[in-house]
Amino acid sequence: MAKKVEKIELALPFKAEYVSVARLTASGIAARMGFDIESVEDIKVALSEVCNKLVSAGSKSSDRYVIDFIIHSSKIEILINFEDRRLAGLFGTNGDELGISIIEALMDTFKVSTDDSNTLSMSKEIKGKI
């Protein structure tokens, strides 16, 4: 029997003081799932990079962004949703290449969707777990 996928949703304002809430939430979820300390730190750093970019840019059309933590048996998916389409450009080919490189190095997958959803997704597998 396959383990049920769980979802935790976190809505945060575009304020720097709430980035730590995202980091603590990610840390708690990843540790509970069985990620090692190094992987937990990787997830926190990658998520911080995304959140700090969103907060720095701000939004003219929305007062918050939403982070969904999708928990699978051996993987965490993190989806960051934002209403302001221009924010996707922060992570595109004309965005901050160093920040994008950091996220890609720390996570197993990283993708920006600029369709109707305006979603950034990243995931990390638990090493050695099936």
Tens digits of residue pLDDT in 34-56: 999 999 999 999 999 999 999 98
Nearest to 88 by CA among 64, 63, 121: 121
pLDDT at res. 1? 47
The C-alpha atoms of residue 19 and residue 27 are separated, in whole angstroms, by: 12
**Strands annotated E in the chain:** 6-13, 64-71, 75-81, 109-113, 119-125
Residue count of the chain, please give it: 130
State whether CATH 3.30.56.10 applies to domain 8-66+78-125: no
Residue 130: pLDDT above 60?
no
Mean pLDDT of the chain: 89
- 97 vs 29: CA distance, rounded Å: 28
Structure token pair of residue 55: 């907060």
* Confidence at residue 62, expressed as pLDDT on a 0 to 100 scale: 87
Distance CA 41, CA 35 (A): 10
Supply the pLDDT for residue 57: 87
- CA neighbor of 125 nearest in space, from 75, 78, 70, 71: 75
- 90 falls in which pLDDT band (50, 70, 90)? confident
pLDDT tier at 68, thresholds 50, 70, 90: very high
